[in-house]
Amino acid sequence: MTDQAMDSATVAEKPAKPKGPLIYRQSIFTRVTHWVWAIAMFFLLLTGLQIYNAHPTLYIGEQSGFEFDNAVLRIGAENTPEGPRGFTTIFGQKFDTTGVLGMSELRGNTNFIGFPSWATIPSVRDLATGRVVHFFFAWVFVAALAVWFVASLLNRHLWRDIILKPRDIRDLPKDIWDHITFRFHHRRSYTPLQKVAYFGVFAILFPLIILTGLTMSPAMNAGWPWLVDIFGGRQTARTIHFVVMVLLVLFFVVHVAMVVLAGPINELRSMITGYYRTSPGTEPDAKDKSNG
């Protein structure tokens, strides 16, 4: 037998990589609300930047400073010996952000604006339209969260996959190391690190962004004045709202990166069909055995 034939025989005899069973992991409620949130947050982010551009400065306190400076973030443009430049000031530290923040181009013309036009909806300065679209998707977001919460209570998704338990805290260091070294485990339930991330989003970030959004509403200030007191003023609420938005964007970036690294086909299948391919050795439920 020639060396080539022997190599071919060796390849042919190599056993196929074992596959774990397909399990039904994501309910219809989890899948639908997941995609509704993705769409809603896209419009909330870009219309939120449109609203922010109307006054691209964030403050801590009950009011914006006039005789005092309580700004923590300011985006704008200034005249310099080299001409106008865009600047971003964070806690008193100024950075030249020409071309991105404070000063950018719109259809070949210089545009003095906080966030560039390509990052806002609408792309031109239109605060009224931005607010209408923002508030519409804000209520879509809240409605989807309410549906998800009730469904997750009934089907125990909240208890099984979101609520942290003592064993999750105990196993967290190992799970963090596994993620750092790209050793992903495809389990029936979420890993400890996933639970920490989703618990932070559902129990902290989502409530914060909703409540601070309500705090900035004059109507809510009249009906629920205690909201303003809780967040230390409307200006502080606006700053917290912005910071939470940044954290949610960072979560989204990491979330997409983890989906790609862990196997995008498997992850997307679970959020489209509900079925998820687990690691070999996972014991399927009776209802899953026909799909393994």
DSSP conformation class of 289: G
SS3 23: strand
Beta-bridge partners for 58:
73
Contact 59/235 with Cβ under 8 angstroms?
Answer: yes
pTM metric for this prediction: 0.84
Contact 238/227 with Cβ under 8 angstroms?
Answer: no
How far is the C-alpha of 54 from the C-alpha of 96, rounded, in Å?
Answer: 21
SS3 128: helix
**CATH level 3 topology of 20-53+126-287:** Fumarate Reductase Cytochrome B subunit (1.20.950)
How far is the C-alpha of 174 from the C-alpha of 168, rounded, in Å?
Answer: 10
Residue spans of the domains in the chain: they are 20-53+126-287, 55-119
| DSSP class per residue in 35-55 | HHHHHHHHHHHHHHHHHHTTS
Which residues lie closer than 8 Å to 281 by C-beta, 6 or more apart?
20
User: In tens digits, what is the pLDDT along the chain, a chain of 292 residues?
Assistant: 555 554 554 444 555 566 778 888 889 999 999 999 999 999 999 999 999 999 999 998 776 655 667 889 999 999 888 889 999 999 989 999 998 998 888 777 888 899 999 999 998 889 999 999 999 999 999 999 999 999 999 999 999 889 989 998 999 999 889 888 888 878 778 889 999 999 999 999 999 999 999 998 888 878 888 888 888 888 999 999 999 999 999 999 999 999 998 888 998 999 999 998 887 756 655 454 444 4
- Cis peptide, bond prior to residue 122, ω within 30 of zero: yes
Cα separation of the two ends of the chain: 39
Contact 279/186 with Cβ under 8 angstroms?
Answer: yes
Token pair of 161, please? 């996959």
Token pair of 242, please? 């912005």
Token pair of 237, please? 């609420």
